[in-house]
A and B are shown apart, each in its own frame.
Chain A
Amino acid sequence: MTTVAAESLSTPSRTWSRYRHPESTIRFAVILAILAFLGWSVAFLNIDLSRVLGAFPRLAEILATRYFPPDVGYVTDADFVRSVIRTLEMSLLGGFLGVVCSIPLAWLAARNITISRRIAYPFGRLAIIGSRSIHETIWTILFVTVLGFGMLAGTLALTVFCIGFAGKLFSDELEAIDMGPVEALRSVGANPLQVFQYAVFPQVRVAFTGIAIYTWDVAFRAATVVGFFGGGGMGWYLKRTTQQLESTRVAAILLVIIGLVLLAEVGSGWLRKKIGRMR
């Protein structure tokens, strides 16, 4: 140890500091601005921080006292089971229509293979981003207002939701394809539809199938609540029981929803894995 301690290091020819003139100052200012915004938010929204932490024990307490035991009889009732089946039907139909509509839109919105970058590309992008920006419950309410209560409105809302969801994934997938075959087919004089069919589609077929299944999975999750706003399916029961404060029934419905969503997730995961292996 003594030898090491006695080592004589010449002082280095320069100094070093972590601080770099413009970058460090800017970074510091940005962090400060974010913190200030967070603080302002807490003040502006009147958030009592002790209530934030108290919320979770309180939720647990309410679940344990008011929501327990779940009213199993209510959810095994024939009418409720029928509404579950209808929810499933809506998600299938909405998912299918959404996927069908989003494939051409994704084609337009894929920068590398779109028909025209001036007109078709912005149109496709706008349609997909527009569908995504508005939450599915708002779509549901809008469709219910125009078309009346029922599953037609719910299905259409799910369709728009799926266009936004699947359209983005589809167009991302299309933008990642190998352009070689596309150029080859263009050079033999194929029209855009033929290029899509022979050069693009074979490359993305498996990925598209996976995305379609995933879309259904997500659509089913959304379908469980469109009924809450008049879109048909099991969500309507949720609304009715919540408004009448029938907590044990709400608990039973929630458990059914969680169970079904888990089943859908496991099922879609299994199917996607199987299809991924066919690649």
Chain B
Amino acid sequence: MSIAAPTSEHGFEAYLAHKRSRRINNWLIVAGGALLLAWCFWDTIMFDTDWQRMGGALGIGGTLARFFQVDWSLAPKLVVPALETLMMATLGTLLGCFLSLPVAWFGAANVTPSKFFFYPLGRFLMVLSRSIHEIIWALLFVGAVGLGALPGILAVAMRSVGFISKITAEAIENIDPKPVEAIRAVGGNQFQVMYYGIVPQILPVIIGTIIFEWDINIRRSAIMGLVGAGGLGLLFFRQMAMFNYGGVTLVVLAVFLLIAIGEVVSHFARKAVI
């Protein structure tokens, strides 16, 4: 109410003018956004799509119908790839944790070995890890170590480093310095100060983050096969190549199931830790 009670005639008018210009501004932003979206819509959807080849509603309906005839005969062949996917996610998360340790150490402002070199390096590695899509990481590693589960694990690990180390570095930056001081005062060495003063404070955050990341990594491992790294993705790719759409649906259902299991496990794990 302080603004609506003007001290002078002039102040009140200035207030109205300010409010009017703000409203105009808002409208301009909305109109600009709408125009931009309309242009995007025209350029991407209307211009780029080959409407003839799509074959109208009937053609789409026909393809969809083939997806819904689920090919249950494939079910026994799903077990091993599903297990592979789960293992790839788990090992990838584990490797990601190890790789995160130095990155988090470098990128936490209060413990970094050097503010001018290692701190920016750590921050850069965090952003780099997150900004490269897991498919691209997988492509790079397939080039480096060949086909198989290993490039998938490495790709998942590299993609996890950013998030795990970012959260860990933030947890380290937010620790309570008082217990650390106490361990130093009893004559603890560097390792003891870290192990007794810092680790107990950040451990719950880190474990929660690892469980969260593991859950996401199941999702990521499920597509690693698309670029040659085994698991359910490879099966998906093969069914797609054979135009066996019923089998594709079954693979997607298997991914759902795997992720549901992951959700349940991580729910209980998080409860047990915190």
Touching in the complex, A and B, CB below 8 A?
Answer: yes
A interface residues with partner B (beta carbon < 8 Å): 37-38, 40-42, 44-48, 51-52, 54-55, 58-59, 62-63, 86, 89-90, 92-93, 96, 130, 132-135, 137-138, 141-142, 145-152, 154-155, 221-222, 224-225, 228-229, 232, 238, 242, 254, 257-258, 261-262, 265
Residue of B nearest to A145 (CB): B63
Please indicate the chain A residues that have their CB under 8 angstroms from the CB of B84 in the complex. 44-45
Determine the chain B residues whose CB is within 8 A of the CB of A261 once the complex forms.
131-132
Task: Give Cα distance in the complex from A37 to B88, angstroms.
Answer: 12
Contact A38 B60 (CB under 8 A): no
Not counting A225-B135, A265-B127, a sample of 18 additional A-B residue pairs whose C-beta atoms are within 8 angstroms of each other reads: A45-B230, A54-B145, A58-B144, A58-B145, A89-B40, A90-B40, A93-B41, A96-B37, A133-B219, A133-B255, A146-B63, A146-B67, A147-B60, A148-B50, A149-B50, A229-B226, A254-B132, A265-B131
Is B53's CB within 8 Å of the partner chain A?
yes
User: Is B220 an interface residue when CB atoms closer than 8 A count as contact?
Assistant: yes
Name A's interface SS. Answer: helix
Instruction: Assess whether A38 is in contact with B94, with CB atoms less than 8 Å apart.
Output: yes
Contact mask B123-155 → A, CB, 8 Å, 1/0?
000011001110110011101110011100110
Q: Is there a chain A Cβ closer than 8 Å to B242's Cβ?
A: no
Which among B43, B95, B131 is the interface contact of A86 at CB below 8 angstroms? B43
- Shortest distance from the beta carbon of B100 to any chain A beta carbon, whole Å: 15
Binding site for A on B (CB under 8 A): 36-37, 39-41, 43-45, 48-50, 53-54, 60, 63-64, 67, 83-84, 87-88, 90-91, 94-95, 127-128, 131-133, 135-136, 139-141, 143-145, 148-150, 153-154, 219-220, 222-223, 226, 230, 236, 240, 245, 248, 252, 255-256, 259-260
Evaluate contact between B50 and A150: CB separation under 8 angstroms: yes
Do B255 and A134 touch (CB < 8 A)? Answer: yes
Bound Cα distance from A58 to B54, whole angstroms: 44
Cα separation A96 to B230 with both chains bound (whole Å)? 34
Given the known interface contacts A135-B220, A138-B252, the answer about A148 and B48 at a Cβ–Cβ threshold of 8 Å is: no
Q: Is the pair A55, B144 in contact by a Cβ cutoff of 8 Å?
A: yes
A44 near B87 with CB under 8 A, answer yes
Q: How far is the CA of A265 from the CA of B123 in the complex (A)?
A: 13
Least Cβ–Cβ distance between B203 and chain A, in angstroms: 14
Contacts of A59 in B (CB 8 A): 140-141, 143-144
* A62 B49 Cβ-Cβ under 8 A: no
List 20 A-B pairs, Cβ < 8 Å.
A45-B148, A86-B43, A93-B40, A130-B256, A133-B260, A141-B240, A142-B67, A145-B63, A148-B54, A149-B50, A150-B49, A151-B45, A151-B49, A152-B48, A155-B45, A225-B133, A228-B135, A232-B48, A257-B132, A258-B131
| Contact status of A150 and B48, CB under 8 A, knowing A52-B150, A96-B37 | yes
Q: Chain A contacts of B141 at CB under 8 A?
A: 55, 59
A89 and B139 contact, CB distance less than 8 A:
no
Provide the bound-state CA to CA distance between A257 and B43, in Å. 21
Query: Whose C-beta in chain B lies nearest to the C-beta of A223?
Result: B133
Residue contact A52 to B154, C-beta cutoff 8 Å: yes
Given the complex of chains A and B, what is the CA–CA distance between A275 and B132 in angstroms? Answer: 27
CA A122 to CA B83, docked complex, whole Å:
29
Neighbouring B residues of A46 by C-beta, 8 Å: 148-149
